[in-house]
Amino acid sequence: MASSLLNASRNLVRNALRSPTSSVPAVRAAAISTSLSRDSASAHFKSPFVGQSKGADIPDFGKYKSSVPSDRNALYGYFMVGTMAAMSAAGAKSTVHEFLVNMAASADVLAMAKVEVDLATVPEGKNVIIKWRGKPIFVRHRTADEIAEANKVNVSKLRHSEADSDRAKKPEWLVMIGVCTHLGCVPIGEAGDYGGWFCPCHGSHYDISGRIRKGPAPLNLEIPEYDFPEEGKLVIG
């Protein structure tokens, strides 16, 4: 089979070489006609993209348009916005509330914020020491003589001028923070040169009203916040 095809191709070449005047024009004519047909086909071809810019054709979204009136759509939008605002406000309130609860003092700290004292257990002329917020509190049930002694002192000559009436809401009850104003020591009651309190650390002497009379302490013993809510009861804090 292969040999017959080879022989046929050789015969065609020989015939073409023997008669060049008749074959070559036919071949040329066939080539020209082929090129003309291509030119004519390309001349009649029209590209669908000629003369159009990108995005020139805008799609129609009319079928997606709502048939409901615009005011009803606006009402729905307002409802959604209001609902989201209410939910956001509730979430913010809850967050702030939890934060404040966590920052608030614990139950044991709140229990120490106020101390209640039964004054019936403190005899006249005696001191009691209680603990309030980690500090000692002196509660003195003063006698009439002690009150008179505290009031006859010339306040203008004191280092820290303070009248006894400014330090005691009730004359018979003196309430003070038992911390020396010099270096924070705890003075001893019913001691010192003035019959009040004495700090043995550096020798500060306080009178029966807790006022500094002698020694390095610069100020009188501090008076805390306290009140008498009812007869025979003292609340500190």
- The catalytic site residues sit at 202
Distance CA 167, CA 174 (A): 7
Contact 225, 174 (CB under 8 A): no
The secondary structure of 127-161 as a DSSP string is EEEEEETTEEEEEEE--HHHHHHHHTS-GGGSSS-
**Dist CA 38 CA 61 (whole Å):** 43
Give the C-alpha distances (Å, rounded to integers) separating 212 from 98, 104, 162, 196, 205.
Answer: 47, 38, 10, 10, 6
Q: Under a CB-based contact definition with an 8 Å cutoff, are residues 208 and 194 in contact?
A: yes
